[in-house]
Amino acid sequence: MDFELSEEQRAFQDAARAFAAGEMAPQAARWDEDKHFPRETIAAAGELGFCGLYCPEELGGLGLSRLDAALILEELATGCTSTAAFISIHNMATWMACTWGGDAVRADFCGALIRGEKLASYCLTEPNAGSDAASLSTRAERDGDHYRISGGKAFISGAGSTEVLVLMARTGAADAGARGISAFAVPADAPGISYGKNEIKLGWNSQPTRAIAFDGVQVPEAYRLGAEGEGFKIAMRGLDGGRINIAACSLGAAQAALDHSQVYVRERRQFGQPIANFQALQFKLADMATELVAARQMVRLAASKLDRDDADKAVYCAMAKRFATDIGFRVCNEALQLHGGYGYLREYPLERLLRDARVHQILEGTNEIMRVIVARRILETGATEIIR
């Protein structure tokens, strides 16, 4: 078992770290304050291949492993967690389109998505179908060689500012559950699509979040991803990787918070000495670093399981997502505490890192649902079958 990164992985990591430090970190506070969606920066990330991290090389993607992608996304998240998280969602949706899309989807969308010239949103959640995604009610009715889509989606990242919607809709009977769902690549400006207001959120302010309404939207059959009825399976396959991605973004936020903290405690003086000399704060830093390393190793293990198509890959992705997003938020919270009142000010990045990391415990499946996934597998096979 080798925990060392290869030279190529370190090169990708270094490139992402340099991009985060040079192109993202200096602008992150302004993007947050102005609620600015930095398309120009995302396009620059696309020029480095970061918008098609694990898409096939024959389509222009980097064809990286999920472990490689996690390394890159963690570094990007140190610069701006919110923007890195959108890049992770775009990668998930783009990979789904490239993997299950036919010739028309690949010709019309994939190249531009991989290059970052077009951006994609992932459209699964509905107002009444969050954790119970299989109960979604948006319908796609066949009409000759087209489908007509009607319904609504909620909490869609990038909505109103992206060009492609990777959408799950019901093509089967209402009581068919997961078996009646199909996936589509939908042009975001198709007639019949309307967008709600940009939601006012605690964090993730550098990316818009809107509801989407579909009123008889006509979509060619050629834009369907996979076969009819495969949509839920495709959505879950996407989410396995998406959970690794968002876990990696939590690692990046925590790493940035820890980096700022170790600088601050050396500079801040109280009682005639740097507060770094106080053992209580040293213990806090030690715990933050230890928990971050543990979460990082779990994410990398889960990514490796996904790369190997391990039978328990979904369970490991769920465990990693739950653990890393909880730890990521905790480290950010402890870092803010170390900064005292200064951590609460917008002048320092701690409160933004905290706000941006908080939603990671909710999206890509809440952490409560991650526990359900793990517990069900344990009860099916026994804990020793999973953890050995």
Active site residues: 364
CB under 8 Å to 247, separation ≥6 — which residues?
A: 70, 295, 299, 302, 320, 321, 323, 324, 325, 328, 360
* Nearest alpha-carbon partner for 51 in 110, 8, 113, 105: 113
Q: Tell the residue number behind the tokens 């938020």, with chain if given.
A: 329
CA distance 37 to 161: 8
**Amino acid (1-letter code) at residue 92:** M
DSSP for 131-199, written as a single string: S-GGG---EEEEETTEEEEEEEEEEEETTTS-SEEEEEEE-S-GGGGGGGEEEEEEETT-TTEEE----
- Helix, strand or coil for residue 213? strand
Segments in the chain forming alpha helices (H): 7-19, 25-34, 39-47, 66-79, 81-100, 103-105, 111-115, 231-267, 279-307, 313-338, 350-358, 367-381, 383-387
Q: Which among 388, 296, 341 is positioned nearest to 5, based on CA atoms? A: 296
Calculate the alpha carbon distances from 293 to 45, 81, 251, 260, 307 in Å: 26, 18, 9, 17, 21
